[in-house]
């Protein structure tokens, strides 16, 4: 049976997209060093990102922008993105393993939520790496457009530097307006 792993990156940041990924690995893959993306160095993640793309039977990477996150809320946006990632696979799985404790609705096959699955199942580890590297690269490109926020450094997370930049410069189109610190910055800017 073909099994796909699904994970996301970017639920907690105040800016930038949420990225969901799905990956189907061959049983005999030769991708060494797979792990939860958060436990890998950036160099390891980048190397594995390329290997996963080369060896996966199928993979998909879906970006959910700030406007869609604001429209649905972060949980619903995550579930929608995960379902999209599964539907966009070129090879349809017979089963899906999803990192976390929720399974999206309307999947094309049976699915199981696996808490801390990104440290257990190689297919979820692969999805975790695809999502994290894709999001980090996107945030680095945003840094060129909005250098005052330091997105290349903190990737949109609510660090003290990012919160100070919000106070000093207000919000940009990449900020999630429904998130409390961004709402506060908007209120402060309106006086």
User: Which CATH superfamily groups domain 3-143?
Assistant: Ribonuclease H-like superfamily/Ribonuclease H (3.30.420.10)
d(CA 121, CA 171): 38
Q: Residue 186 above 90 pLDDT?
A: no
What is the per-residue pLDDT for 178? 96
d(CA 154, CA 149): 9
Task: Indicate the pLDDT class of residue 188, thresholds 50, 70 and 90.
Answer: confident
Task: Classify residue 2 by its DSSP letter.
Answer: -
Q: Residue 191 above 70 pLDDT?
A: no
d(CA 62, CA 17): 9
**If DSSP codes are grouped into helix, strand and coil, which group holds residue 179?**
coil
Q: Residue 189 above 80 pLDDT?
A: no
Using one digit for the tens of pLDDT, what is the confidence trace for 104-152?
Answer: 998 999 999 999 999 999 999 999 999 999 999 999 999 999 999 999 9
Rounded mean pLDDT of the chain? 95
Q: In what order do the strands lie in the sheet with 58-64?
A: 58-64, 18-24, 3-9, 95-99, 111-114
Residue spans of the domains in the chain: they are 3-143, 146-190
d(CA 5, CA 52): 12
Q: Residue 82 above 90 pLDDT?
A: yes
Q: Residue 167 above 70 pLDDT?
A: yes
Q: How many CA atoms lie within 13 A of 189 on its CB side?
A: 14
Question: Is there a contact between 132 and 37 (Cβ–Cβ < 8 Å)?
Answer: yes
pTM of the model: 0.95
Burial class (CB in 10 A: 0-12, 13-18, 19+), 99: buried
């Amino acid at each position: 049976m073909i099994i796909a792993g699904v994970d996301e990156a970017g639920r907690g940041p105040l800016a930038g997209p949420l990225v969901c990924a799905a990956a189907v690995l061959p049983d005999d893959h030769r991708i060494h060093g797979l792990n939860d993306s958060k436990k890998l160095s950036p160099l390891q993640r980048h190397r594995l990102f390329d290997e996963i793309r080369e060896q996966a039977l199928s993979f998909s990477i879906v970006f959910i922008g700030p406007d869609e996150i604001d429209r649905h809320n972060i949980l619903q946006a995550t579930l929608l993105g995960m379902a999209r990632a599964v539907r966009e696979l070129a090879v349809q799985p017979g089963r899906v393993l999803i990192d976390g404790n929720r399974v999206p609705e309307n999947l094309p096959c049976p699915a199981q939520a696996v808490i801390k699955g990104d440290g257990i199942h190689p297919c979820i580890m692969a999805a975790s790496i695809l999502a994290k590297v894709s999001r980090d690269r996107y945030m680095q490109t945003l840094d060129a457009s909005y250098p005052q926020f330091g997105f290349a450094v903190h990737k949109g997370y609510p660090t003290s530097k990012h919160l100070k930049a919000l106070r000093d410069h207000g919000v940009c189109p990449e900020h999630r307006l429904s998130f409390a610190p961004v709402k506060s910055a908007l209120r402060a800017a309106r006086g």
